Amino acid sequence: MDRIKILVVDDESRMRKLVKDFLVKKDYDVIEAGDGQEAVDIFFEQKEIALVILDVMMPKMDGWEVLKEIRAYSKVPVIMLTARGEEKDELQGFELGADEYISKPFSPKILVARVDALLRRSNALAGEKRLETGGIVLDQAAHSVTIDGKPVDLSFKEFELLTYFMENAGIALSREKILNNVWNYDYFGDARTIDTHVKKLRSKMGDKGDLIKTIWGMGYKFEAQ
């Protein structure tokens, strides 16, 4: 069986080596890029990259630009790495379609755990069920969503979030429960991460976004029709 390919993008060779060494120990096939332009070139040349670990501050093209290029064509899971810890930077990453966000310095073991979790969830989608309610059809095998017959383009994390809502229709879900199930127990984010994704998901769903109800002080509930 071919090893899973991961693209590691960072202008610091020491950081790339650190991340690569830990991923290779888990039997991942690691491809390196030293700047944003090289990352984009490699991503579109190598058709089987399963996940991207992407630094923000880089020459030629920064991580935000690389993420925009990737998201224009692919929903591949992307983990952003950055020395910045400001909330606005994290929210910008999620707005652009990042799946995880890790601030430097970080534990390589935690990074690998998040890589494992993201890949498990993305691979686990294959062959699973189809969910339908209120004109929304979510096909987990095809990783597609249609609303009243029209396709809706969701990021990987938005797709996971809608899946979790639809699987738990009618049940009040706390933000903590959503974090644990959609972002996994080892995610160190907070409620703003969920709120940002829900806002974007509602917007993409149009009128059907109203099916995701806010429960003030607690979380959300998806109301099946």
CATH 3.40.50.2300 for domain 5-124:
yes
Look at domain 130-222 and name its CATH class.
mainly alpha
Strand partners, 30: 6
Give the predicted TM-score (pTM) of the model: 0.61
Phi, psi of 167 (to 5 degrees): -65, -25
Distance CA 210, CA 175 (A): 18
pLDDT at 87 over 70: no
Phi, psi of 52 (to 5 degrees): -120, 130
- Domains of the chain, by residue range, sit at 5-124, 130-222
44-77 pLDDT, tens digit per residue, is 998 789 999 999 888 888 899 999 999 888 888 8
pLDDT at 185 over 60: no
